Each structure stands twice: as C-alpha cells, then as structure tokens.
Amino acid sequence: MTRPVPAIVILGNGSLATARRIQQVYPDALIHGLAERVDGADHVYREFGSTLRELYQQGTPIIALCAAGIVIRTLAPLLLEKGAEPPVLAVAEDGSAVVPLLGGLGGVNVMAREIAAALDVSAAITTSGELRFGTCLLNPPSGYVLGDLELGKRFVSDLLAGETVRIEGSAPWLAQAQLPEDAQARLAVHVGHAERTPQANELLIYPRSVVVAVSGAVSDLSNAIRQALHQAAIAVQSLACLLAPDTEMTHPALRETARELGVPLRFAKAETDMGELARNAVGQPVSILGDDAIAIAVADNPLDPLLIGRPRGRLAVIGLGPGAAELMVPAVKSELARANDVLGYETYVRMAGPFRADQVLHCTDNREEMQRARHAFELAAQGRSVVVVSSGDPGVFAMAAAVLEALHESTDVHWHNVDLEILPGVSASLATAAQAGAPLGHDFCVLSLSDNLKPWAIIEKRLDLAAQADLALAFYNPISRSRPWQLGQALEIVARHRGPETPVVLGRDIGRPGQTLRVTTLGLLTPDQVDMRTMVLIGSSLTCVFPRADGGEWVYTPRWYGEKPAS
C-alpha cells in the first residue's frame, strides 16, 4: 500500500549531498532547492515559508534540511488548524541529526528511523511509547486502523506506567514490538473486523479486510451499507473499499457514499450477483455475507484496494496560468500531484513540473490538439488519472474545447464514463491587464487573430464590430512567422474607429522569466513590436493612462461609460 511521496527541502548547496543520500531512501521524492542558492535541485522554489506551508497543507511529508526552529516557526500558524498532519522532519545539513517534529500518527518516526539508518546516525525519537516498545501502537501500519485515538492514548499511558498486555487476533507487526506481553494481563490489544464496543481496558485495531459490493441503485445507500454491516456484526472501520459494477461508473450516489465512508471506490465487471462480483474482483478467498443487493466480502488479511477491480478514470484539463507558480490555482496543483499521465505541448508540460519518476509525460507538438485529446481519453478510460495541460485558462483558445469536441464525437461508453473536469487558470489577457492596472476594467472583447481554424473574413468582421462598439480589445495569437500580415490589417481596422492616442498594453512572457510590459498608443504600435508570446490589449475611448510613483504608468478603463457619475 502506497505512502505519500515526501518533499526534500534545502536552503543551500551545503545540504545537497545529504539530500541526495535521503533521496536514495525515497527515490520518487524531489529535492526542492532555494533559487540562486542551490545548483542542481530537482525543483526550484523562491520563498521558503510559502513553499513549506503549501507542501504541509497538501499533506506532503516534509524533510527539511535546516534548523528545527526554522521549520517550527514557519509551520506554526498552520498547526492550530484542523486537518491532516503530514510527517515533518528536520535533518541537520551534514546528516548528523534526524529530528521528527510533527505527524506522529502519520508515521514520522518510521521515516525518521529510515532516514537515520541511511545516514548512519540514530533518530531523535521522543515519543515515549515508541521508545519503550519500538513501535507506535497508535499508528498501526497501512491496512490497519486504530479504533479510537483518545482511548488509545490512555491505553498507552497505562502500558507506560508498567502494565502488561495481551494480544488477541492476528497482528503480525506487533510481534516485532517489544510489548510486555502476558496472557493474564488486564490490558488487551484486540485485532479483528468484528463490530465491538471497546472495554475500558481494550485497544481496538481493525484490519481493513472487508469489501462491500453494491449497486448505486440501492436507495439511501450509505445507511443501507452501514445497516448491512451492522447486521453482519462487522465494523465499518474494517471497510477497505466500496466495489460497484463497471456499468455504474457515473452513478453519483456511489461516489458520494464512498466519500462519506472515507474509502476508495473501485469498479469490476458487472455481475447480477454482488457476491459474485466481489469474489471475482478481490482475487483471494473471501467469505460472502449480506444479501443480493449488498454483498459483504470478508478476507483473512487486510486488502489493498489498489489491487481490487479498477478505479473510474479521471481526465482533468487544467490551466497553468501565465507561468509563475504563485498564479496557479491550488486545485490545479493537487491535480498535477495525483496525475499518472500528463499530456500537452512540451513547453507547457515542462512548466507544469517537476514530476515524479512514476508520472508519465506525453509531450506533443502544439498543433496536434485533437489527437492529444483522444489519447487523453484512451488513457483515462483505462482507469488512469490524466491531466491535459494548457497555459493560461484551458477554455481560452486552448485544450478544453478540443477535449470536449473529442468526447462529443465519440460513442465509446468508456470515454463517456471518465470523470472529466476542467480546472481554470489565469488567462494571459487577465494576467497582463493586472500588471498594467485595469485596462479591461469595463466591457471588453477577446479575439484570437489566428486564421488557422477560422476564415480571416470573420476575424475582420468581428474586429470591425467590436472596435465600432467601443469595447476594449484583447488579442491572443497576434502574429507568427506563418501569419505575418494579419496584425497590421487588424490594427488598420481598429484605427478606423479609434484615435491614435488610444492606450495599448503589450505584455510579453507575463509571469515567466524575462517578462516585459510596455504601455504605448495605437498610433505608435507597429507589428514588429509584437510576437507570438505577446498579449495585445487595446483600450476603449475612455481608457486612460497616468504616471506611477515608480516611473511606470497605470492604465485603466473606468467602470462607467458616457459621463463620469458624481462621486
């Protein structure tokens, strides 16, 4: 069963050697190095505090090669918030000390021991129970779940006070712990899938050894499952996953119920009998309880949901924003983290990185959009988690429409079953406008000047009408080597309706290294000032410009039109 991949964060070149040794323990982990201080990191960050907090909030285990105090101060504002607490460790930059700081229940001590072993030092473990017994009873390995944390804490403090303990049920990992076992002990660790009210002297640990196979058509699904488990005297905590027929992949009740029960949802080849469905999908001996509609399959040992049936495939079309990581929405970052496959134009795929070794990149030429969209569905239909990358917003002259067109044309039910989502980004016109002030502060019109996929005549007509309507204009794809004359013609059309003093903003590579922003006028604008990496914003008759204190200029279009209202 998989654990989340940690991030190794370093502040200077002095830590790189130690970071690489730690990376050998976690080969998929990336080394995040501070810009201009670290050469040869896998990923470059600019701001330590925001980077660390973001990783923490995403639940990424953090191995920071710096003073423990820095890490504590940086994460302190987040510690009072509720939510998952990933493991956080501070490691001395020379590898001489490994200090687990947070995430006791997320396995931080296990990681501390693993890292310490690789660095040939001992981990600074401070958890009493763990020191005494060599394992954290409250943090069973994956495949097992603790019944109740508060009862568990009391149980461990009784043990620490010198009591002995009995172990009931099968718990292979506990055999390696140095527990003070005694068959007559008052305290007992009970491992099993049965529903049970814990006695005062009992620590309950549930193996995730149960699968419920169900159709989404069952009414009041979540309650029906809880009731079926209760009737079979099986603890809901023992549920490893929910299993459903693959003909019901899009059923909202299944997804909702799996989320509510906190278990993965998997699908297997449809059978009328749910018991049969479960037996085939689990692939090891199970006893089947329940009834025709809700079958409960119970195995002897914990089950790995990743090996049962398959998940519903997912396809997300994401917008990276203009380029800078700070301008990428958090939902896009998490989507990239969960992706198995990433498709897109090579430049954008590279911008979306860094990626882990287990993520597959499919880089293609910029013009192969429909082929890329179909390839994305083929991968997602296999149950993979697929991301198609666009710059800016995916719905603005980019991949979202191509993906939907491919789906619309397809009769393949597997494609239509994919969990498809479009995640927005900051489009180039908006990123450029924000840097200039608010040139699009009133009604505006967005046009692509590319006549690759539409006739030039329609572009001329739209330009003419938009300019006539006194809309501010945003030009995407303004010019390219194969389209050298179009921009000049477009500017002529605009000039029929707008004066030479009309403000113009040119944003080039906005949000990317070497970005430039120019404020000029329609009269002074010539096509040679523009290339395919430029955004052209043309003001309306009311757009105005005034100096900034720092020497530049602010451009804005007022919110009103006609006469300025009294304020």
If one asks whether residue 215 binds ligand SAH (CB under 6 A), the answer comes out as no
Concatenate the DSSP letters of all residues of 416-450 into one string: HTSEEEEE----HHHHHHHHHEETTSS-EEEEE--
User: Which of 390, 417, 435, 540 touches ligand SAH (CB under 6 A)?
Assistant: 390
Residue with smallest beta-carbon separation from ligand SAH: 392
Strand, coil or helix: 40? coil
User: Which of 310, 532, 542, 553 touches ligand SAH (CB under 6 A)?
Assistant: 532
If one asks whether residue 506 binds ligand SAH (CB under 6 A), the answer comes out as no
* Region from 163-171, 307-315, 326-334, 475-483 binding ligand SAH, contact rule CB under 6 A: 475-483
- Residue 13 has what DSSP assignment? G
* Region from 8-16, 32-40, 527-535, 544-552 binding ligand SAH, contact rule CB under 6 A: 527-535
Shortest Å, Cβ 450 to ligand SAH: 8
Strand, coil or helix: 324? coil
Shortest Å, Cβ 256 to ligand SAH: 33
What distance in Å separates the CA atoms of residue 113 and residue 132, rounded to the nearest whole number?
15
Nearer residue to ligand SAH within complex by CB, 312 or 508: 508
Q: Which tokens is 30 given? A: 């990336």
If one asks whether residue 396 binds ligand SAH (CB under 6 A), the answer comes out as yes
What distance in Å separates the CA atoms of residue 44 and residue 35, rounded to the nearest whole number?
5
Q: 31 to 50, contacts with ligand SAH by CB under 6 A?
A: none
Nearer residue to ligand SAH within complex by CB, 146 or 487: 487
- For 218-247, b/e burial (b = at least 16 CB within 10 A) is beebbebbbebbeebebbbbbbbbbbbbbe
* Region from 290-298, 347-355, 506-514, 548-556 binding ligand SAH, contact rule CB under 6 A: 506-514
Q: Given phi > 0 = left and psi -120 to 50 = alpha, else beta, which region is 2? A: beta
Are the C-beta atoms of residues 542 and 558 closer than 8 Å to each other? yes
User: Which of 108, 123, 393, 545 touches ligand SAH (CB under 6 A)?
Assistant: 393
Shortest Å, Cβ 320 to ligand SAH: 9
User: Which of 512, 516, 523, 526 touches ligand SAH (CB under 6 A)?
Assistant: 512
Are the C-beta atoms of residues 224 and 261 closer than 8 Å to each other? no
If one asks whether residue 476 binds ligand SAH (CB under 6 A), the answer comes out as yes
Are the C-beta atoms of residues 97 and 125 closer than 8 Å to each other? no
Four-CA torsion 515, 516, 522, 527, nearest 10 degrees: -70
If one asks whether residue 323 binds ligand SAH (CB under 6 A), the answer comes out as yes
Going by C-alpha positions, the residue among 105, 65, 63 that lies closest to residue 85 is 105
If one asks whether residue 486 binds ligand SAH (CB under 6 A), the answer comes out as no
Q: 263 to 302, contacts with ligand SAH by CB under 6 A?
A: none
Going by C-alpha positions, the residue among 317, 365, 367, 315 that lies closest to residue 345 is 365
If one asks whether residue 507 binds ligand SAH (CB under 6 A), the answer comes out as yes
If one asks whether residue 367 binds ligand SAH (CB under 6 A), the answer comes out as no
* Region from 196-204, 207-215, 293-301, 393-401 binding ligand SAH, contact rule CB under 6 A: 393-401
Strand, coil or helix: 528? helix
Sites of contact with ligand SAH (CB under 6 A): 322-323, 390-393, 396-398, 427-428, 432, 476-478, 507-512, 532-535
